[in-house]
Structure 1
Amino acid sequence: MAHPVCLIENIEENKVKINQEALAILSSISQPVVVVSIVGKYRTGKSYLMNRLAGKRTGFSLGSTVQSNTKGIWMWCVPHPRREGQTLVLLDTEGLGDVEKDDLRYDSYVFTLAILLSSTLVYNTKGTIDNEELLRLQYMTELTKLIHVRSTTEDKNKASSEFIRFFPSFVWVVRDFTLELEIDGKEVTTDRYLENALKLKQGNSEEIRQSNILRECIRNYFPSRKCFVFYQPTNRNHHNLEKLNDTDLDPDFVKQTNEFCSYIFDSSKEKTIAGGVRVNGSMLGQLAVMYVEAIHSGQVPCLENAVDVLAQRENASLADKSYDLYQNLLGEQVVLPTETQQEFSSVHEECMKKALKLFMEHSFKDEDQRYQNFLMTCIQKEYERKCQENEQLSYKHCTDLLEKLWGNIDHKSYMRPGGYLDYRATVDGIIKKYKATPQKGLKAEEALQTFLKQKEDMESCILKADHSLTEQQKKLEEEKAHAEVEKFKAEVAKKKEEALNQRIKDIEKAYKENEQQLVEKMERERNTMIEENKRILEKRLQEEKTLTEEGFNQKAKVISAIIEELQEEQMKLFFSENYGPELKDPSFSFAKISRINEQKEN
């Protein structure tokens, strides 16, 4: 993209809709995406940072008036500067708190969409991180109303715990920072400065309670947090930063900007959804459509429903792509007719494995293996169709070859004394040439048997007309011809049986390959969930420790209960390989493991 385009438009009555041009761009991106959104009050320099992330000075609209320049959410897709095979998607959002907007709910929509779509959320402010600045993040306290993790009714604490699995990492950027980074007279890092600002306050007043709720929301929803402070870019008027070179800016500001960009490039992860599934551009576009449609219709975006719908669309499309891959590979790698069924089966097996691998690597939430089974059914039907085509081409090729070898032989010329033996010599010569001709395919014997059967009446007439043979000799010749026909029949039956057995083996191999790749996929998903749970557990344990140190023991107990659930889930994941059926029992507890082991041993 040479320049940004509007992704989500602000239309009449402060409603939003998807821009089809931007959606088409996203649909064309098959690479995993790293999505960085920036939100904050208007006129705080958000667009400047996003332009720098794009490696440009201009692009996203910068303004120097008291009006918000960016309307809706604008998108700029660029190759990731540090990682091959990934696309960096930058989302610049309309400034929050614009006095020209009548409906404050619109700010909530923009903030919510930025969270739902991004893998890193940058919150851009000016001055300091103080209580007033925190209160501007009031949208945080409403997130459980604005976003549902599941379609069923959720406990608030449970919902906040689940948000961690879906929410982006959080980067707080403080512009025009003029204070010393000190707490109690000691120099601190920017991250420590942020965490100190998010410490809960002691007291029971309504003001403190509201203030703590907001801090808790940030801590609960965004366990991965980072802070950057920027000094003023220049002592002069800096409303036209895009026109200034780095040499015109304060060296510290340039350094801070470069450090910010490096952190975003190195630390921002790919956008993922439930189960650690990597999102590509096309999937991001579909998610944007679903979330905007939900908001536009007055509904609450449900993450679980969105993932389910996305999974169905992606898995259906992926099954088609995998099937196309199988067809293309088969067409490229096999030349029909094949000499044997085994030759064709070997190519089929390799093509099937690659097609199945493509599906397994990118499919997700394929409940009851619906789309996987659909893919395998399509592959099996195509294989059977190609087997029939292989046989038909072989049969036609062999029939044409026999007709060519037979040529214009006049059977009447053999209706004479000694004609039968001459006729047999001619036929034997044709058979010999036929068998010596390569690449006839697996219907060679059947085509020959049919051809000779068609010539039986002619041969019988020639034999009867050959008066040089005695009746005894004629009888022996008839028996010899009959024995030859029976021999061909046996060969044809043997070939048919071999081909049938091979196709049965192919079905068994396909089933085993399908099962093996499914087991490997489930194991990868299990390991991903274990790692995800481990990450969340570490964050929750740290939060429990922090709350205890701050003296909020009751709140620490709530976190402790969530930790126990996570630990139970983690244990189930660890033991699921050996105790799969038992884990489905709601009454299962890990205290039963020893008893289960004893039963298995006995």
Structure 2
Amino acid sequence: MEGPVCLIENTSAGELQVNQEALVILNSIRQPVVVVSIVGMYRTGKSYLMNRLAGKTTGFSLGSTVQSETKGIWMWCVPHPSRDDQTLVLLDTEGLGDVRKGDEKNDTWIFALAILLSSTLVYNSMRTIDHQALRSLHYVTELTNHIKVKSSMLGEVETTSDYAQFFPSFVWTVRDFTLDLQFDGTSITADEYLEKSLKIQSGNSPQMAYSNDISGCIQNFFLTRKCFVLNRPVSQSKLKVLDQLCNTDLDPGFVQQVTDFCSYIFNHSKEKTITGGAVVTGSMLGNLAVTYVDAIRSGTVPCLENGMAALSQMKNSAAVEESFALYKRLLGERVVLNPRTGAIGEEELSAIHDVCLQEALQLFKANSFKDEDERYQKDLIERIKEVYDGKCSENAELSRCLSLLQQLSGKLNHGSYLRPGGYVAYRLQLDSIVQLYRATPGKGVQADQVLDAFLKDQQENKRVIRMTEKVLAQRENLLREDRVLAERHRYQAEAEAAQRATRKMEQRLEELRACGVQMDQ
């Protein structure tokens, strides 16, 4: 992605909806995803940190006024800088507490979705962790009202531990921090500062009870916690152009702190998982977003168990279709029922089926996801069985049709038709075979194909018989002409011989007369 796109947007009607462009991007990501989301009050510099995680200075809009820039939840997918087999998905959320919105419910849902979708949740605040900063995180006290772990608890109450095992790790970043990290004169780490700030305080005031409630929720819901304090990066006048400045223009301490923050996120943020420890891919993350947003739009509470069920349905249905298509393709390639060459043996067909089935099941198991009771696998096997049974029926029908034609065509002694008038006799016999074949019941759907192949095979025999008949007819005509010509030659020779005898006799008479012999009149 060249830059971020909106993942979950606010409609004009005040509802949340998932952006289709973002879904297309997520569906193309087959790798496991590490999902880092950031939440916090508006105008606290959340987008700047997300841009740095993306390895950029620009991308998520920073803005330079009191108006909140980010609306809804924006997404930026980038290659993970240290894990080749994972994708880093950054989610920048709409700033909480924008007085121009006046919609507390929207803030609550944005916060809940950030938790549901991420593997690491970054909370960004300003200057110090105090009662005011804690009160800005009051959304955590309402999480059990807006997120459910199981679709049905059968009257049981969900505990914080039920939530903690599915919630993301928690990172608190404190911006423009100017205090010394010391406590009772001793230097402490930022993590120790966070834990001391979350410690339950004594006191009976409503304000103290409220802060303690928030602190308790953070400790109970987010078992893995981390804190970073960041100096002010530049002077107040340059904050407006922060995205245009190089590291050399920034406070060196701030640069190192941001570098440490990014390094921690890259090295310690785990891939997104769901119930049972199943790793989430980009396409699965998109389906989770749709499932949770649809629940919010319908007026129900997003449920982690329902999200897993939706993923299971999506992944397993797709695995069934892909594996079923593979089986049909393999069986079609390896079992060719040729109406000319005949059927194949039942054992051979069964052996080919077994190999194709195993390859299809292997693909299904590689792509399936939590197929409880092997329900989807059983559906796949049932669909494969229907195809195999159909192929067996086609094979049997083909065998019956070929046997019938072989029986009927046994009378076709092609050599007996190589004579004058043989073509007509051959055609009469062939037409009789076709009529008998068509009149025989129970041939099945392969009947016409087998007959067509048989008649095509007879074309050459038909041509030879017809050509032979023509050649024989031509030869008979030639013989007849030869006999007529020979007879004519015989008559002509006899006539010529008679003429010669007559002339010879006349010549002899003339000779006798010349000698004075009187010839009787």
* TM-score, normalising length: structure 2: 0.71
> What SS does structure 1 have at the residue aligned with 2:318?
helix
Structure 1 residues 175 and 334, CA gap change in structure 2 (3 angstroms): farther
- 1:461-504, Cα deviation, whole Å (9 max, x unpaired): xxxxxxxxxxxxxxxxxxxxxxxxxxxxxxxxxxxxxxxxxxxx
C-alpha distance in 2, partners of 1:275/1:69?
37
Task: Give matches, 1:499-578, under 5 Å.
Answer: none
- Give the AA of the match of 1:189: T
Structure 1 residues 92 and 402, CA gap change in structure 2 (3 angstroms): farther
Task: Give matches, 1:356-395, under 5 Å.
Answer: 356-388=361-393
Structure 1 residues 264 and 350, CA gap change in structure 2 (3 angstroms): farther
- Give the AA of the match of 2:125: T
Which residue in 2 is equivalent to 1:454? none
Query: Is the contact between residue 80 and residue 87 of structure 1 (CA under 8 Å) also seen in structure 2?
Result: yes
Following superposition, the deviation at residue 274 of structure 1 comes to 1.2
Structure 1 residues 227 and 154, CA gap change in structure 2 (3 angstroms): farther
> What SS does structure 2 have at the residue aligned with 1:44?
coil
Which residue in 2 is equivalent to 1:222? 222
| Corresponding residue pairs, total | 416
Structure 1 residues 154 and 125, CA gap change in structure 2 (3 angstroms): farther
- 1:483-529, Cα deviation, whole Å (9 max, x unpaired): xxxxxxxxxxxxxxxxxxxxxxxxxxxxxxxxxxxxxxxxxxxxxxx
Which residue in 2 is equivalent to 1:422? none
C-alpha distance in 1, partners of 2:320/2:201?
54
C-alpha distance in 2, partners of 1:162/1:299?
19
Query: Is the contact between residue 30 and residue 282 of structure 2 (CA under 8 Å) also seen in structure 1?
Result: yes
Following superposition, the deviation at residue 92 of structure 1 comes to 0.7
Q: Does residue 285 of the first structure (1) align with residue 290 of the second (2)?
A: no
- 1:239-259, Cα deviation, whole Å (9 max, x unpaired): 322211222222332222222
C-alpha distance in 2, partners of 1:380/1:85?
37
Q: Does residue 410 of the first structure (1) align with residue 415 of the second (2)?
A: yes
Structure 1 vs Structure 2: percent identity of aligned residues?
Answer: 56
Which residue in 1 is equivalent to 2:110? 110
Q: Does residue 243 of the first structure (1) align with residue 244 of the second (2)?
A: yes
Which residue in 2 is equivalent to 1:53? 53
CA RMSD of aligned residues (A): 3.3
- Give the AA of the match of 2:296: I
Structure 1 residues 107 and 380, CA gap change in structure 2 (3 angstroms): same
Query: Is the contact between residue 144 and residue 159 of structure 1 (CA under 8 Å) also seen in structure 2?
Result: no
Task: Give matches, 1:414-433, under 5 Å.
Answer: none
C-alpha distance in 2, partners of 1:344/1:239?
74
Which residue in 2 is equivalent to 1:495? none
Which residue in 2 is equivalent to 1:520? none
Structure 1 residues 401 and 181, CA gap change in structure 2 (3 angstroms): farther
Which residue in 2 is equivalent to 1:596? none
Structure 1 residues 188 and 345, CA gap change in structure 2 (3 angstroms): farther
- 1:127-162, Cα deviation, whole Å (9 max, x unpaired): 111221111110111111111222335889733221
Indicate the larger mover: 119-128 or 238-247.
238-247
> What SS does structure 2 have at the residue aligned with 1:379?
helix
C-alpha distance in 2, partners of 1:155/1:213?
25
Which residue in 2 is equivalent to 1:457? none
Task: Give matches, 1:390-401, under 5 Å.
Answer: none
Query: Is the contact between residue 232 and residue 254 of structure 2 (CA under 8 Å) also seen in structure 1?
Result: yes
Which residue in 2 is equivalent to 1:480? none
Task: Give matches, 1:340-351, under 5 Å.
Answer: 345=350, 347-351=352-356
Q: Does residue 164 of the first structure (1) align with residue 171 of the second (2)?
A: no
> What SS does structure 2 have at the residue aligned with 1:240?
helix
C-alpha distance in 2, partners of 1:362/1:166?
23
Task: Give matches, 1:242-261, under 5 Å.
Answer: 242-261=243-262
Which has a greater percent of helix? 1
Task: Give matches, 1:575-594, under 5 Å.
Answer: none
Task: Give matches, 1:28-47, under 5 Å.
Answer: 28-47=28-47
- 1:92-111, Cα deviation, whole Å (9 max, x unpaired): 11101111011211111111
Query: Is the contact between residue 149 and residue 159 of structure 1 (CA under 8 Å) also seen in structure 2?
Result: no
Which residue in 2 is equivalent to 1:276? 277
Structure 1 residues 47 and 385, CA gap change in structure 2 (3 angstroms): same
C-alpha distance in 1, partners of 2:70/2:127?
22
Which residue in 2 is equivalent to 1:213? 213
Which residue in 2 is equivalent to 1:352? 357
Structure with greater Cα Rg? 2
Query: Is the contact between residue 135 and residue 210 of structure 2 (CA under 8 Å) also seen in structure 1?
Result: no
Indicate the larger mover: 109-118 or 224-233.
224-233
Q: What runs of 5+ residues in structure 2 fail to find an aligned partner? A: 419-449, 455-521
Task: Give matches, 1:97-246, under 5 Å.
Answer: 97-152=97-152, 158-235=158-235, 237-246=238-247
Structure 1 residues 85 and 395, CA gap change in structure 2 (3 angstroms): farther
- 1:380-404, Cα deviation, whole Å (9 max, x unpaired): 2233344555667789999999999
Query: Is the contact between residue 149 and residue 158 of structure 2 (CA under 8 Å) also seen in structure 1?
Result: no
> What SS does structure 2 have at the residue aligned with 1:39?
strand
C-alpha distance in 2, partners of 1:245/1:145?
44
Structure 1 residues 187 and 325, CA gap change in structure 2 (3 angstroms): farther
Query: Is the contact between residue 14 and residue 103 of structure 1 (CA under 8 Å) also seen in structure 2?
Result: no
Following superposition, the deviation at residue 329 of structure 1 comes to 4.2
Following superposition, the deviation at residue 199 of structure 1 comes to 1.3
Which residue in 2 is equivalent to 1:88? 88
Structure 1 residues 234 and 152, CA gap change in structure 2 (3 angstroms): same
Query: Is the contact between residue 344 and residue 395 of structure 2 (CA under 8 Å) also seen in structure 1?
Result: no
C-alpha distance in 2, partners of 1:128/1:154?
43
Structure 1 residues 99 and 156, CA gap change in structure 2 (3 angstroms): farther
> What SS does structure 2 have at the residue aligned with 1:239?
helix
C-alpha distance in 1, partners of 2:99/2:205?
30
Query: Is the contact between residue 331 and residue 356 of structure 2 (CA under 8 Å) also seen in structure 1?
Result: yes
> What SS does structure 1 have at the residue aligned with 2:151?
coil
Following superposition, the deviation at residue 412 of structure 1 comes to 7.4
* TM-score, normalising length: structure 1: 0.62
Structure 1 residues 156 and 12, CA gap change in structure 2 (3 angstroms): farther
Structure 1 residues 395 and 153, CA gap change in structure 2 (3 angstroms): closer
Following superposition, the deviation at residue 238 of structure 1 comes to 2.5
